[in-house]
Chains A and B, each alone.
Chain A
């Protein structure tokens, strides 16, 4: 039986995360098809034909699919699902919004944020923000999965020769309307996907000190700025900077924690960083247990020293 991957399209075309979902789908066995739903997407369909391992592209080109509205997309996926054993999407904000709606329409207990496929019905997924891994088995019947894109390499954009088939629109459900979308245009990268993240805890002292101390270093490193829950709770940093179980889970190449004690819920959100650096005056702070490199020192002396060392 075949697998249907639900593609995500943005202003740049097909998202890389969709190609990760195609790689995951290929591990399940059977043919891999992809659904491209959007408006004026013929060009993207031609581009997607080249993706390795893909045998068919279903194209639903219609205005009601232009903005990824789940209320419009879910009836389309439900209708197409009759021909598939498994429905897969990447666990992006698009996939996480749409697939549970599809799963309920199909009466399927879905598996979200899969990081490992052990067998066609057995999966590993992180729980408690990655502090633990759960192995789950799905019951017989159709499968609905979202996969974590960072753990499956994207399928190559060459070597494929998929057939392109048009599918009819299921129309506008008339329940939700798209108003606007504002994508952050910042000199600094987005927290969730930044290669370098520096973060601060409550020991920064004040909102002013938090920004004045971390911003110049972040700019020098091209880093995103994160914060602990304690720093957010005490008003030093905005809510969307929070790193951890109750904030954003990140996996940068380099994470530098300044004055962060290392509470369990914070550590859960940084575990997949390649290199973790901790700077803290308390040698017994739990953050040192997960750090690759530690400095038992005052962040207010380390940061200027780091800035001049990076200049040199």
Chain B
């Protein structure tokens, strides 16, 4: 069984993000980029399923410019067998991404597609569900546990106030939550091995029509700053201030 894992290259989670000077987008020049953290959980889950003998191949896929080779190498070092860059200079919206992945699924015939529950740049949390809809496959979003047996995925999902368990007939799409696992640290030998693994590039246009409506980003602003705070002298002053603000009884 093949597992396709979609990963996204995003601004590293430790970076303080800022709008561009014209306020039309997010500044990415000279900014550290990394794999989306939730996609690392998805990759880790896929690699563990392969290590458990439940999958035969893990294919990592990124969509974007040639710069995405770094996150794909990271995926290979984590244990993916093969990496594929769907190359485009355009920034794709969720529906466009889902359509591109649908076309790729037709070529690669995976039984399971895994991805992060959301990307930490646009926080949309849409692609997995959209792909499942386009493929007419079942979906499990915000997964915190996955078990596979007899063509069925049993998935524990994080929901408001708790968890629920679903069973999906494979093939299926699953999106990973942070609780799914702790992604492994990459050791040097794994990094060296990753350089020998195949990393293929395919122009996105070659996948055929992935035309889809998309949102237009008009402006990016910093939210209003919080008013300046006060440093207090001791705990009694703090308790008095919190009682005055009516957040403590």
Bound Cα distance from A69 to B131, whole angstroms:
16
Q: Please determine whether B235 and A175 come into contact, CB atoms closer than 8 angstroms.
A: no
Interface size on B, residues (CB 8 A): 82
Bound Cα distance from A103 to B130, whole angstroms:
7
Most buried by B among A99, A101, A122, A310: A101
Cross-chain contact of A176 among B13, B93, B167 (Cβ < 8 A): B167
Q: Please determine whether B158 and A109 come into contact, CB atoms closer than 8 angstroms.
A: no
Given contacts A100-B125, A253-B247, A302-B235, contact A132 B26 (CB under 8 A): yes
B1 CB within 8 Å of chain A: no
B68 CB within 8 Å of chain A: no
Q: Please determine whether A104 and B130 come into contact, CB atoms closer than 8 angstroms.
A: yes
Chain A residues, CB < 8 A from B124: 112
Q: Please determine whether B215 and A288 come into contact, CB atoms closer than 8 angstroms.
A: no
A154 to chain B, nearest CB (A): 16
B192 CB within 8 Å of chain A: no
Q: Please determine whether B162 and A182 come into contact, CB atoms closer than 8 angstroms.
A: yes
Q: Please determine whether A295 and B160 come into contact, CB atoms closer than 8 angstroms.
A: no
Chain A residues, CB < 8 A from B164: 67, 178-182
The interface bits of chain B over 189-227 (1 if a CB of A lies within 8 angstroms of the residue's CB, else 0) are 000000000000000000000001111111111110011
Given contacts A127-B121, A254-B248, A265-B13, contact A309 B167 (CB under 8 A): no
Q: Please determine whether B160 and A128 come into contact, CB atoms closer than 8 angstroms.
A: no
A contacts with B: majority SS: mixed
Chain B residues, CB < 8 A from A288: 229, 231
B105 CB within 8 Å of chain A: no
Chain B residues, CB < 8 A from A136: 215-218
B19 CB within 8 Å of chain A: yes
Q: Please determine whether B238 and A295 come into contact, CB atoms closer than 8 angstroms.
A: yes
A70 CB within 8 Å of chain B: yes
Chain A residues, CB < 8 A from B91: none
Bound Cα distance from A128 to B179, whole angstroms:
20
Q: Please determine whether A264 and B133 come into contact, CB atoms closer than 8 angstroms.
A: no
Q: Please determine whether A104 and B222 come into contact, CB atoms closer than 8 angstroms.
A: no
Interface residues of B in 25-40 (CB under 8 A from A): 26, 37-38
B230 CB within 8 Å of chain A: yes
Chain B residues, CB < 8 A from A135: 217-221
Given contacts A71-B139, A101-B130, A131-B17, contact A293 B229 (CB under 8 A): yes
Q: Please determine whether A131 and B165 come into contact, CB atoms closer than 8 angstroms.
A: no
Cross-chain contact of A100 among B129, B157, B216, B239 (Cβ < 8 A): B129
Bound Cα distance from A252 to B99, whole angstroms:
38
Bound Cα distance from A295 to B217, whole angstroms:
41
B122 CB within 8 Å of chain A: yes
The interface bits of chain A over 105-140 (1 if a CB of B lies within 8 angstroms of the residue's CB, else 0) are 101111111000000001000111111111111110
Bound Cα distance from A113 to B164, whole angstroms:
22
A46 CB within 8 Å of chain B: no
B87 CB within 8 Å of chain A: no
Bound Cα distance from A263 to B16, whole angstroms:
8
Chain A residues, CB < 8 A from B215: 109, 111, 136-139
Chain A residues, CB < 8 A from B93: 109
Q: Please determine whether B158 and A240 come into contact, CB atoms closer than 8 angstroms.
A: yes
Given contacts A93-B159, A293-B238, contact A101 B221 (CB under 8 A): no
Q: Please determine whether A104 and B17 come into contact, CB atoms closer than 8 angstroms.
A: no
Q: Please determine whether A177 and B166 come into contact, CB atoms closer than 8 angstroms.
A: yes
Which single residue of chain B is at the shortest CB-CB distance from A190? B161
A55 CB within 8 Å of chain B: no
Chain B residues, CB < 8 A from A242: 178
Q: Please determine whether B168 and A109 come into contact, CB atoms closer than 8 angstroms.
A: no
B142 to chain A, nearest CB (A): 6
Chain B residues, CB < 8 A from A96: 125, 141
A72 to chain B, nearest CB (A): 10
Q: Please determine whether A176 and B238 come into contact, CB atoms closer than 8 angstroms.
A: no
B230 to chain A, nearest CB (A): 6
Chain A residues, CB < 8 A from B131: 104
Which single residue of chain A is at the shortest CB-CB distance from B137? A175
Q: Please determine whether B212 and A109 come into contact, CB atoms closer than 8 angstroms.
A: yes
Q: Please determine whether B123 and A129 come into contact, CB atoms closer than 8 angstroms.
A: yes
Q: Please determine whether A134 and B217 come into contact, CB atoms closer than 8 angstroms.
A: yes
Bound Cα distance from A135 to B23, whole angstroms:
10
Chain A residues, CB < 8 A from B223: 126, 130-133, 271
Q: Please determine whether A175 and B125 come into contact, CB atoms closer than 8 angstroms.
A: no
A239 CB within 8 Å of chain B: yes
Given contacts A132-B222, A138-B215, A246-B120, contact A94 B239 (CB under 8 A): no
Top 9 A-B pairs, shortest CB-CB distance: A100-B129, A104-B133, A183-B162, A104-B130, A175-B138, A100-B126, A179-B165, A254-B247, A181-B164
A–B complex contacts, Cβ < 8 Å, 10 sampled: A93-B160, A94-B160, A108-B95, A111-B215, A128-B17, A176-B167, A246-B13, A275-B245, A293-B232, A294-B232
Chain B interface residues toward A at CB < 8 A: 11, 13-19, 26, 37-38, 93-95, 98, 120-134, 136-142, 154, 157-169, 178-179, 182, 212-223, 226-227, 229-232, 234-236, 238-239, 241-242, 245, 247-248
Q: Could you list 8 further interchain pairs (A-B, Cβ under 8 angstroms) beyond the known A101-B132, A275-B242, A276-B226? A: A92-B160, A100-B94, A129-B120, A132-B222, A137-B216, A181-B165, A240-B178, A309-B236
